[in-house]
Each structure stands twice: as structure tokens, then as C-alpha cells.
């Protein structure tokens, strides 16, 4: 079965596509909410949070402190409909960022603080509420963590189940250290 589309039909169709609303990346919305706080804490934004990646429209806002602590707030509104906060050092491979040390919740646990590992993003008016919850969790925990975190803490969370060492070994094999560059901390 063949379909025949005229030139005029194609342009009518494209006009409708242009009229379809394009929603801003969740990471961009989060950044607008959190940038003043994170800037006051000494973090700088190091990526463009307005960019969406992949078929599930993932986006992230990545921040780095003067001491080298990374905070990556990621959103995946498509498949998993979730958000997560990662932290620590940046592990890079030949194709760019491979991962961060671990989930922020793992680091918070080391300092006896409870933060969810995953946040349900939701639909409609739920995503802004989820972003507020994530931001509130960072406001409550990050000042205490940033004052106390050491390289030993960061290296410890990298060894965990979902830590960077296991991720790198799974993606790159047992000799992963030969292919990975790890950002400095401290």
C-alpha cells in the first residue's frame, strides 16, 4: 500500500506541527527556581538546562561548586516520568560525561539525612510541585553537606551499588580506569 501526499498537504501538516505547543525543559524551569540559592552557595551552572535529550525528552541542570562538588538535577518526563539528583565528582569517558559519583540521596544518608532517590514527576500541575520538593530538599540538606563533605565521603559513595565505579565498570569493562577521567574535588 502506497500513500500519496501532495506538496500542499505536506505544508498544511507542517503548519499544524509548528502550532503544537513546545514545553520548556523541566531542568530549565528548575534552574529558574533554584539558581539564586545555588549561586549563593558558590555553585555555577555549567550546562544549558533548556536542552532536551533523547526520545524521552530528558533534561538536566548541572552545577559545580568551587571545591569541585557537582550537583546534577535530571528530569525524564517521557518513559520513567521521574526526576533525580546526582552529586559528587564528574566521571567522563571518550563521549563526554559518563556519570556522577552517585545519587544525592546516598551522600545525604552518610550525613544522616533522608532525601528520596527518585521523585515522581507527574503530569499537569504536578511537575512544578515536584520541582519545589526537590528544591526544598536541597535547601534543607545541601548547606550542611557542603560544609562537611570530604573526598573520602565522595570516594565512598562511588563504591556503592549505583556508584560511579560500578557504572563505569559495567559500561567500559574491568579496565575502565584507563578510559575514564574523574574531576578533582577538594
- The torsion angles phi and psi of 88, rounded to 5 degrees, stand at 105, -140
d(CA 23, CA 66): 32
What are 119-144's pLDDT values in tens digits?
999 888 899 999 999 999 999 999 99
Q: Would you mind telling me the total number of residues written for the chain in this entry?
A: 186
Give the other-Cβ count within 10 Å of 96's Cβ. Answer: 7
d(CA 179, CA 168): 9
Task: Decide: 84 and 118 in contact? Cβ < 8 Å.
Answer: yes
47: which DSSP letter?
A: S
Specify the pLDDT at position 75. Answer: 95
Mention every residue, 6+ apart, whose C-beta is less than 8 A from residue 180: 91, 92, 93, 98, 168, 172
What are 133-174's pLDDT values in tens digits?
999 999 999 999 999 999 999 999 999 989 999 999 888 888
Band of residue 184 on the pLDDT scale cut at 50, 70, 90: very high
d(CA 135, CA 83): 12
SS3 41: coil
Planar angle of CA 141, 97, 79, nearest 5 degrees: 75
- Overall pTM surpassing 0.95 (yes/no): no
Amino acid at each position: 500500500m502506497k500513500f500519496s501526499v501532495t506538496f500542499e498537504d505536506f505544508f498544511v501538516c507542517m503548519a499544524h506541527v509548528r502550532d503544537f505547543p513546545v514545553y520548556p525543559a523541566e531542568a530549565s524551569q528548575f534552574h529558574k527556581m533554584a539558581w539564586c540559592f545555588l549561586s549563593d552557595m558558590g555553585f555555577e551552572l555549567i550546562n544549558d538546562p533548556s536542552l532536551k535529550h533523547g526520545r524521552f525528552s530528558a533534561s538536566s541542570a548541572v552545577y559545580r561548586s568551587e571545591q569541585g562538588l557537582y550537583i546534577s538535577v535530571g528530569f525524564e518526563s517521557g518513559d520513567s516520568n521521574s526526576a533525580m539528583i546526582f552529586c559528587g565528582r564528574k566521571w567522563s569517558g571518550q563521549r563526554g560525561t559518563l556519570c556522577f559519583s552517585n545519587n544525592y540521596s546516598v551522600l545525604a544518608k552518610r550525613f544522616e539525612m533522608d532525601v528520596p532517590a527518585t521523585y515522581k514527576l507527574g503530569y499537569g500541575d504536578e511537575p512544578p510541585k515536584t520541582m519545589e520538593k526537590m528544591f526544598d530538599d536541597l535547601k534543607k540538606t545541601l548547606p550542611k553537606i557542603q560544609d562537611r563533605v570530604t573526598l573520602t565521603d565522595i570516594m565512598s559513595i562511588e563504591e556503592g551499588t549505583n556508584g560511579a565505579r560500578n557504572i563505569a565498570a559495567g559500561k567500559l569493562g574491568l579496565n575502565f580506569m584507563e578510559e575514564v577521567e574523574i574531576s578533582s574535588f577538594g
